[in-house]
C-alpha cells in the first residue's frame, strides 16, 4: 500500500469512527519532534503540514525526509499536508515530493482571484494529483486572519461575509472533484482576545450538502466543546498552528530569561518542545484521535 492509499484509508476512518485528524504546522525540527512525541504518547494519527513560507524555509524534499525519518524511528501514523499552496505549480511540486495531502488556495496569493480562476486551478491540481493519489483540498474564497496573535477583537460581521453557503459549496465540490472542502463557519486564522465561535448549525447544513470530507482552518483558540461538536457533525481535519507557535515563543522567552548565560540551543529546547507537545496532546484528545493509531 502506498502512503497515499494509507492516507485515504485513514481519512475514511475519520467518518466511520467519528474522530478528526489534527493538522499541525511544522515550523522546525523541534515542532516536528513535539508532534511525534505527542502521537506516541496518545497513540494517535495526525498530519503535519507546511505552509508556503515553511516550504521556502525548509524545502519540500527536506520536509518529506524529516517526516519519513521520524515516522520510521517512532513508528507513528503520520502524513504530510501542503497547506495553503498559493499556486498550481507549488501544489504540483508538493505532489511530486510525495505529500499525501495538498491544499490549493489560489486566493492566498491573489485575493482578487475570480471564482472561475479558482475552479480552474483547483481542477488542474485534482487532475495532477491522480499520478500519486494525493488528496486535494480547496475552497472558493480567501480565508481571513493569519497565523499570529492579534490584539484586536474579531469582527464577526465582516467574516460572516465569507461564511460557507451550503449550495455554493456543493457546486464547487461537483465542479472541481476535490476530496476535502475547507469550510468557513466562524473559524479564523490566528489567536484573538476572545475565543472563536463556530456556527455549528451552519456546519450541519454544510455537512449535509457535501459528499466529501470537511476541514476547519483557523482552529487555534477555539473552545474545546465546539471542537467536539464539530467532530460529531462530521469534520475530518482541523488545522492548528497559532496555539503551537504561541506556546513555542512564550516558553522560549521564559527559558532564555531563566538561563541568560546558556548559549547551547539543544540545552534550551527540551522545555519548549514539551510545551508544544502539551498543546498537541490536548488537541488530539479533543478531536477524539487518541487511541486511533494503527501500526505502520
Q: What is the pTM of this model?
A: 0.93
Within a domain: residue 70? Answer: yes
Average pLDDT, the chain: 92
The domain in which residue 188 lies consists of 3-286
Q: What is the pLDDT of residue 221?
A: 77
Query: Which of left, alpha, beta for 80 (phi over 0: left; psi -120 to 50: alpha)?
Result: beta
Within a domain: residue 144? Answer: yes
Residue pLDDT, tens place only, 112-128 = 889 999 999 999 999 99
Q: Please state the rounded mean pLDDT for residues 230-253.
A: 96
Residue pLDDT, tens place only, 159-189 = 777 789 999 999 999 999 999 999 999 877 6
Q: How many domains does the chain have?
A: 1
Within a domain: residue 214? Answer: yes
Is residue 169 within 8 A of residue 202, CB to CB? The reply is no
Q: Please state the rounded mean pLDDT for residues 194-199.
A: 76
Within a domain: residue 105? Answer: yes
Within a domain: residue 295? Answer: no
Within a domain: residue 117? Answer: yes
Q: Is 28 a residue whose pLDDT tops 60?
A: yes
Please give the Cα distance from 248 to 277 (Å, whole number).
10
Give the CATH number, domain containing residue 17: 3.20.20.70
Amino acid at each position: 500500500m502506498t502512503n497515499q492509499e494509507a492516507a485515504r484509508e485513514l481519512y475514511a476512518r475519520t467518518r466511520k469512527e467519528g474522530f478528526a485528524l489534527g493538522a499541525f504546522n511544522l515550523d522546525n525540527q523541534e515542532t516536528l519532534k513535539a508532534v511525534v512525541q505527542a502521537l506516541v504518547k496518545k497513540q494517535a494519527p495526525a498530519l503535519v503540514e507546511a505552509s508556503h513560507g515553511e516550504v521556502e524555509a525548509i524545502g519540500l524534499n527536506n520536509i518529506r525526509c524529516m517526516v519519513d525519518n521520524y515516522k520510521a524511528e517512532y513508528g507513528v501514523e503520520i502524513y504530510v499536508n501542503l497547506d495553503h499552496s498559493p499556486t498550481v505549480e507549488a501544489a504540483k511540486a508538493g505532489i511530486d515530493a510525495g505529500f499525501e495531502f495538498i491544499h490549493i488556495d489560489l486566493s492566498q496569493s491573489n485575493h482578487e482571484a475570480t471564482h472561475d480562476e479558482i475552479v480552474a486551478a483547483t481542477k488542474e491540481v485534482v487532475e495532477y494529483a491522480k499520478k500519486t493519489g494525493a488528496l486535494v483540498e480547496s475552497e472558493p474564497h480567501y480565508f481571513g486572519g493569519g497565523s499570529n496573535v492579534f490584539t484586536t477583537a474579531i469582527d464577526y460581521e465582516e467574516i460572516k461575509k465569507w461564511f460557507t453557503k451550503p449550495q455554493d459549496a456543493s457546486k464547487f465540490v461537483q465542479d472541481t472533484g476535490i476530496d476535502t472542502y475547507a469550510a468557513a463557519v466562524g473559524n479564523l486564522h490566528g489567536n484573538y482576545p476572545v475565543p472563536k465561535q463556530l456556527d455549528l448549525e451552519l456546519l450541519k447544513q454544510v455537512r449535509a450538502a457535501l459528499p466529501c470530507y470537511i476541514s476547519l482552518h483557523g482552529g487555534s483558540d477555539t473552545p474545546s466543546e465546539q471542537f467536539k461538536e464539530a467532530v460529531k457533525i462530521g469534520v475530518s481535519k482541523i488545522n492548528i498552528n497559532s496555539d503551537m507557535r504561541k506556546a513555542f515563543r512564550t516558553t522560549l522567552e521564559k527559558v532564555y530569561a531563566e538561563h541568560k548565560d546558556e548559549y547551547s540551543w539543544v540545552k534550551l529546547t527540551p522545555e519548549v518542545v514539551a510545551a508544544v507537545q502539551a498543546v498537541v496532546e490536548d488537541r488530539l484528545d479533543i478531536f477524539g484521535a487518541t487511541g486511533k493509531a494503527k501500526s505502520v
